[in-house]
Amino acid sequence: MKLSGFLMRSTIVAALGGFLFGFDTAVISGTTGWLRQIFGLSDVSLGFTVATALIGTIVGSIAIGRPSDILGRRRALYILAALYFVSAIGCAFSWNWVSLLIFRFIGGLGVGGASVVSPMYTAEISPARFRGRLVAFVQFNVIFGILMAYVSNYIVSLFDLGVVEWRWMFGIEAFPAAAFFALLCINPESPRWLVARGRIDEASEILDKVGTDTGSVEEEIKEIQTSLDLEHHSLKEPFFCKMYLKPIMLAVMMAAYNQLSGINALLYYAKDIFLMAGYGSKSALFQSAVVGFVMLIFTILAMVIIDHVGRKKLMYIGSVGYILSLLGVTYAFVTGGGVLVLISLMVYLAAHGFGQGAVIWVFISEVFPNRVRARGQALGSFTHWFMAAVISQTFPPLVSWLGGYVFLIYAAFMVTQLLWAIFIMPETKRISLEKIQKELGIE
């Protein structure tokens, strides 16, 4: 089976939700100095400013599940594109600290929603043999968005715009948000969502274009209908029950470990970390772009092999990379080695891009049955963003208290992640969504 051009185009457009997810997440890292100065923020209030978007992501990740079930995956993506655009324009023209918080919260709604819908939509239109790399393409765009935010911030800083510099950093996001909204018109609806609504002819037409796991559209439709089993189950049945306990725990642990690595602390405070290591302001922005580029390269490598080596092996390698690099960062701060900080953070982001970063959204989109996938994806995203809010809110005061030793905390959590990946996490490579449901013992 070859990867169809129609499927690839649809994946690229859906992944723009991931690009904006990454851009919105990282763009604030270049503005923190200005926000401290303009609004007179303390460590705690700066942490709250960063966490405001994360509070939005928590709400967005919970709130988007039901609309994506009712309206469809594509219409949900339209809503998210609009939220990104409003946030970018609003932050650029915010008139006080409170208005900035409000528009950052709106952007967070978009990020939280995109972390649910973009990977879920991509998983539902993808045949099993391509699903890992196509869902990982969403993560590639998250990393690409992070990198472009760092590059954009660095370029804006070169113009020496003074007190309006931070406004330009936020406002640039409006351009990709508008492009995302416009391009969604070429994407189809999820065939699995259509089958759940009884729209079999439409689903068959789309499956014929994107490809199937069985080689037959009719057989694929029957497998989807069997997995839904709507004669004995309802799309509105309780989610938190014994039947779904295993995928719930797998998704929650995967999402929690993603943030317990400390990744969002680094993404949001990259510039501050490099300033702590002795770099100048513009140099710190440039180094942020360098480490973002490293993460992008290793995410691409993971995309290429994820459907061949599987999810578990990537988690093994990523966990070991996390542990070694976080120990290196700690040592660098204790000994004052500025160059070692850069090297260790490059290894850290390489480990993230190759491991957790590539696997998280693929894995969470796979482990839930068709009938509850939107709610399961929402739970995984909620866990991810709740933990991200905790990490970003606590990082500034923890750094003030512990200095570089804060990274030892994240290293300890990554030791437990490695054990979880070895002994508990199942392998899902090249298995259809419907068969994964059976292997997890869900009727």
**Domain ranges for the chain:** 5-439
pLDDT (0 to 100) of residue 225: 87
Token pair for residue 315?
């988690």
pLDDT (0 to 100) of residue 231: 46
pLDDT (0 to 100) of residue 123: 92
pLDDT (0 to 100) of residue 234: 56
pLDDT (0 to 100) of residue 68: 92
pLDDT (0 to 100) of residue 207: 93
pTM for this predicted structure: 0.82
**Mean pLDDT, 10 residues at a time, over the chain (443 residues)?**
86 94 86 89 82 86 90 96 97 95 95 92 91 88 86 90 93 96 95 92 93 86 81 67 93 96 77 66 67 82 92 96 93 77 85 92 92 91 87 82 88 97 94 89 79
pLDDT (0 to 100) of residue 230: 55
- Which architecture characterizes domain 5-439 according to CATH? Up-down Bundle (1.20)
pLDDT (0 to 100) of residue 199: 93
pLDDT (0 to 100) of residue 134: 92
